[in-house]
Copies of this chain bind each other. A is one copy, B any other.
Amino acid sequence: MTKKVKIAVIGASGYTGSDLVRLGARHPHIEIVYLTANSHAGKPMSGVFPHLAGLGLPDLIKNEEADWSKIDAVFCGLPHATSQAVIKELPGHLKVIDMSADFRLRDAQTYARTYGNEHIAPELQAEAVYGLSEHYRHAIRNSRLVACPGCYPTAVLMLLLPLVKSGLIDATDLIIDAKSGVTGAGRALKQNILFSETGEGLAPYAVGTHRHAPEIEQELSLAAGQELVVNFTPHLIPMSRGELITAYARLSGGKTAGDCKNALAERYADEPFVAMAPAGVIPSTQFVRGSNNVMLGVFEDRVPGRVVLISTLDNLIKGSAGQAIQNFNMMFGLDETCGLEQVALFP
């Protein structure tokens, strides 16, 4: 018999929230009790997201209308700053999976510098576990509050962490050229994500200043055992979903691209959501879109002593809602793939 965990999705009117609902509605151990979205309170979810019609979802309510005593776990899809304010007030019996940026950075000063506001829940920041599922399983299983990594950091760290840890590449000389679909920017209205501005075009943005860079550096530094600074240059691609990282690294003395490939293949051999690109295939976002999968590839560079490293994922799934559910599964002792079995939708 299937025991269900009663959950609420806070901030269900954004893309990460709605994708959590989409996945949660079919998860055999999830019962969606509350959906909150202050600006849409009172509406049916299908009025805000018609693709979610017919799922028997509760109507949207305000946060304060929820009776938290009826709930076991909360997924939070609010913007940063708002997220910490809301989570701070939640009762302690709730397990919390936060998809915002509020608890990803381990250091309060780095947070303030990066996001421009003082953290108002530093004790929670200290408690939170960084939810990169495949790399922090033990901590996630024993946590109450998980901070799901950003979409870019997930794609980057899945690719680079094992190589930095093993010393196969020079962690002090990393170039990370990142490409993302437009859902990465959320559903809030901004001119640069209008169809007419983004379609049939390609735009670098936040060059040198993107907020995911400190998060990437935090985790790579931990792995390397030294403070690192990395290049991180994101580009907006005219597609809705999908993210691809092309990283350029210097190989450690005598090491080869083949060594890197083997190291990654070995590290992730038993991982259900991580695959090396099949022989002769270069990772493309289309191969993982709609799934919780990461696809990795390692390629020889023309430049001797260098290697080209590629990873790709669906930014709303493995980069957000899917990884959140993967973490939830761990926190509640469920099979990690539960509710995440969807094969990529191609084309």
* Interface residues, chain A, with chain B CB atoms under 8 Å away: 15, 18, 22, 25-26, 44, 46-47, 49-55, 175, 177, 179, 181-183, 187, 189-191, 193-205, 207-209, 213, 229-233, 235, 237-242, 244, 246, 248, 275, 277-291, 293, 295, 299-304, 306, 308, 310, 341-347
Closest B residue to A209 using CB positions: B302
Contact B208 A308 (CB under 8 A): yes
By secondary structure, the A interface counts as loop
Select one of B182, B213, B299 contacting A207, CB under 8 A. B299
Question: Is the CB–CB distance between B204 and A182 below 8 Å?
Answer: no
* CB-based nearest B residue for A46: B278
Q: How far is the CA of A25 from the CA of B344 in the complex (A)?
A: 12
Chain B residue with Cβ nearest A54: B275
Within 8 Å by CB of A196, from B177, B196, B275, B347, lies B347
Q: How far is the CA of A54 from the CA of B300 in the complex (A)?
A: 24
Q: In the bound complex, what is the Cα–Cα distance between A248 and B231 (angstroms)?
A: 9
- Residues in chain B near residue A240, CB distance under 8 A: 195-196, 199-200, 347
A310 to B203, CA, bound (A): 10
Which of chain B's residues have a CB closer than 8 A to the CB of A193? Answer: 194-196
CA distance A51 to B196 in the complex (A): 14
Residue of B nearest to A286 (CB): B201
| Residues of B with C-beta under 8 A to A52 | 343-344
CB contact under 8 A between A231 and B26, given known A182-B194, A183-B347, A195-B198: no
Complex Cα spacing A209 to B282, Å:
13
A199-B299 CB under 8 A given contacts A207-B308, A288-B51 = no
CB–CB A208/B302 < 8 A: yes
- From residue A120, how far is it (CB to closest CB) to chain B in Å? 27
Whether B195 contacts A231 by the Cβ 8 Å rule is no
| B278 in contact with A26 (CB, 8 Å) | no
Please state if B47 and A202 are interface contacts (CB–CB under 8 Å). no
Q: How far is the CB of A179 from chain B (nearest CB, A)?
A: 5
Query: 25 A-B pairs, CB-CB below 8 angstroms?
Result: A15-B347, A25-B343, A26-B342, A47-B278, A50-B278, A50-B281, A50-B284, A50-B295, A51-B287, A179-B235, A181-B196, A189-B189, A199-B199, A201-B286, A202-B239, A202-B244, A202-B284, A203-B286, A204-B310, A205-B282, A208-B299, A213-B302, A231-B248, A241-B345, A248-B248
